[in-house]
Copies of this chain bind each other. A is one copy, B any other.
């Protein structure tokens, strides 16, 4: 270790500790904390964020980062310094007071959002959302390079190298090819039965089967926790403590596939090596790469006929009354049924990216076009009607369905669609390297998971998602694989 890098260690330890504490408070807030705890706890979280901010913007830290950049560092060390330099650049222009206010606002925000969503009352959340947008724009303006658009600043936080120009192209291609394809699907006349997925699926049984499948795909309960929250998510304290949540309703597939999805995120974080965990590069490469893994597990593995062959009986045993008479093939067809709908997290694989497209367009309007927050419910509903032919009846199945904005995460949504596209590109490559479906049929998820660990997970944040994709598949990002994957899979299912 170099002198300056060694001197940096205590600062990095503190950054890590404040960050981990904040993660635990967020987890606790979403899963367990009592209703009235909010304001007092926000004060604590605000102080911790302030401390994080103070370390990052400590002149001594900035000086050490400069010194480090002149020194010979190992790959991981250099990456840590690069991440820290970026974080400094992000924060140094934000006044400490504003940063702290924003942290308190996001802590309180998800609590208010949860209540507003439950009470189907957008007005309850609107003032908070307005403030969140204002802070977000203000912060982006502090950081914007000359001529850089504010939304591009935000997009860059989640996915480097994917700005509005690129994303307009990406979503344009999806829209151009998938919208007419979707039309063919809905006009095909093929009816897929899925009534058996809805019913009195006992919550405890759903939890039991969820735990089984989390473990089956590779979630390690010795290093992880599964709990309940309004909106499923994954978080981690480090590579020995990774946590997923789900929520239960009468649709058995909702919780089942959300568990497999979050397990994909979790397996990524569990695959971070000990050398990288608890450092600034000890996490997934990007939001998009993270989503590529979660959606890979959920869709490419989890909604695959081959996946269910060795293990469908286990689901039947848990729900003999509901699924005893349903074949594996019928079940797999049902969980792949295409049906334009209102809730993103419950959307089928094909229409999913249109949900993301709507959010992308609305975020652009919020950040770039001064769209008034009050108009959101209607614009949201209009866009759903236009793209998907469905219109939400209330805000809880409309604009309030996602937690992201309440946490100040604007620019995150596009990663969901990018992740699916990354996953499709990886899948295409992997099929050339291994008998993918054959492995699933043997119940061998491990070989697939190990490939992902070896090629993606173990690198943490050492490389960008784009570089990683290039290194693994030998090719730059190419969205056509995603479109081909979808049209191929759903073409077969709908006899097109």
Interface residues of A (CB under 8 A from B): 13-14, 16-17, 20-21, 24-25, 28, 32-41, 43-44, 47-48, 51, 221-225, 227, 237-241, 277-278
Closest chain B residue to A19, Cβ basis? B44
- Chain B residues near A241: list those with CB within 8 A: 33-34, 36-37, 40-41
Extra A-B contacts (6), CB below 8 Å, given A17-B51, A51-B51: A13-B43, A14-B47, A17-B43, A34-B221, A34-B225, A41-B238
Closest chain B residue to A37, Cβ basis? B241
Closest chain B residue to A237, Cβ basis? B41
The 9 closest A-B pairs by CB, nearest first: A17-B47, A37-B241, A21-B21, A40-B238, A36-B240, A20-B44, A17-B44, A35-B222, A36-B223
Closest chain B residue to A40, Cβ basis? B238
Partner of A24, one of B24, B34, B224, B227: B24
Is B277 a contact partner of A40 (Cβ separation < 8 A)? yes
Closest chain B residue to A54, Cβ basis? B14
Closest chain B residue to A239, Cβ basis? B40
What are 12 A-B contacts defined by CB distance under 8 Å? A14-B51, A16-B44, A16-B47, A21-B44, A24-B24, A32-B225, A33-B225, A34-B222, A37-B240, A41-B237, A41-B238, A41-B241
- How far, in Å, is A156 (CB) from chain B's closest CB? 29
- Chain B residues near A44: list those with CB within 8 A: 16-17, 20-21, 237-238, 278
Is B47 a contact partner of A13 (Cβ separation < 8 A)? yes
Is B278 a contact partner of A40 (Cβ separation < 8 A)? yes
CA distance A36 to B220 in the complex (A): 10
Is A237 a contact partner of B24 (Cβ separation < 8 A)? no
CA distance A39 to B224 in the complex (A): 14
CA distance A14 to B47 in the complex (A): 6
CA distance A239 to B40 in the complex (A): 9
- Chain B residues near A40: list those with CB within 8 A: 237-241, 277-278
- Chain B residues near A36: list those with CB within 8 A: 222-223, 240-241
- How far, in Å, is A344 (CB) from chain B's closest CB? 29
CA distance A223 to B38 in the complex (A): 10
Closest chain B residue to A23, Cβ basis? B44
If A41-B238, A240-B40 touch, whether A48 touches B21 (CB-CB below 8 Å) is yes
- Chain B residues near A223: list those with CB within 8 A: 34-37
- How far, in Å, is A9 (CB) from chain B's closest CB? 11
- How far, in Å, is A124 (CB) from chain B's closest CB? 18
- Chain B residues near A239: list those with CB within 8 A: 40
Partner of A21, one of B25, B35, B224: B25
- Chain B residues near A240: list those with CB within 8 A: 34, 36-41
CA distance A17 to B35 in the complex (A): 20
CA distance A227 to B39 in the complex (A): 22
CA distance A218 to B178 in the complex (A): 58
- Chain B residues near A222: list those with CB within 8 A: 34-36
Closest chain B residue to A33, Cβ basis? B241
CA distance A224 to B40 in the complex (A): 13
CA distance A223 to B28 in the complex (A): 14
Is B48 a contact partner of A17 (Cβ separation < 8 A)? yes
Partner of A28, one of B17, B28, B238: B28
Is B224 a contact partner of A34 (Cβ separation < 8 A)? yes
CA distance A36 to B222 in the complex (A): 6
- How far, in Å, is A45 (CB) from chain B's closest CB? 8
Question: Residue among A35, A44, A51, A237 with the most chain B CB within 10 A?
Answer: A44
- How far, in Å, is A47 (CB) from chain B's closest CB? 4
Question: Residue among A16, A28, A37, A222 with the most chain B CB within 10 A?
Answer: A37
Is A43 a contact partner of B225 (Cβ separation < 8 A)? no
Closest chain B residue to A49, Cβ basis? B17
CA distance A277 to B40 in the complex (A): 9
